[in-house]
Each structure stands twice: as C-alpha cells, then as structure tokens.
Amino acid sequence: MQSLNIHRNDTVQVLTGSDRGKQGRVLRVFPDNGTVLVEHVRVVKKTVSSKTGKRTKGGIAEQESPINVSNVALVCPNCGPTRVGYKKDGDTKVRVCKKCGQTLVAKK
C-alpha cells in the first residue's frame, strides 16, 4: 500500500485525458490502485436494474470512474495547480505547496 499526496476533499485539477483542465473535489482515494475518484470527472454510464422489493428505479445512471493519481495535481488556493511537499511542524508532518510554501489543508 503506497502513500498518496492527495487526500479526500482536496481540490484537484486533471492534467491529461479528455477531461483535461477540469477541477473537482476528491470523493474517494484508492491507495492500493493508485487512483482517486474526482467529482464530475470521467463520468461513465452504467446500467442499473430495478431490484425486486426495493424502491430503486432501473435504467441508465451516470457515475464517476477512478482516475490515476499521476493525472491530477493538487490545487493551491494561492497559485493554482502545484506539486506537494512536506514539512515538519512540531511533531506533525504537514503538506506544503511547492510554489508558494503555504500549508495545504483538506476541507472538511
């Protein structure tokens, strides 16, 4: 299991692919696969069947598909898409922007 620089609720920008330039919030991180699920990015259509006894409606639903973590960059509030560095702040290790040096905190 590898450690990723991108956490849940971070704002990221897509660097490559058909969704290049789009920004979105990270919904879920899959460190085993090295992928992240980004809101409104790489939306695919999926067929959904109506379950017997359930109140779900069948049809075609749209959902996000995971994208490789190397194809996204974390967005700094000051300077835009940037790489991530680490700095010791007392006993804790915090993420910092490589361009401006500001501490990066994931929104709740």
**What proportion of the chain, given as a percentage, has pLDDT over 90?**
72
82-91 residue pLDDT tens: 999 999 988 9
Model pTM? 0.84
- Who's near 54: CB < 8 A, 6+ residues apart? none
Q: Where are the domains of the chain?
A: 11-77
64 neighbors 53 (Cβ within 8 angstroms): no
- Order of strands across the sheet with 67-68? 67-68, 35-38, 23-30, 11-14, 72-76, 80-82
- CATH of region 11-77: 2.30.30.30
Residue 67, strand partner residues: 36
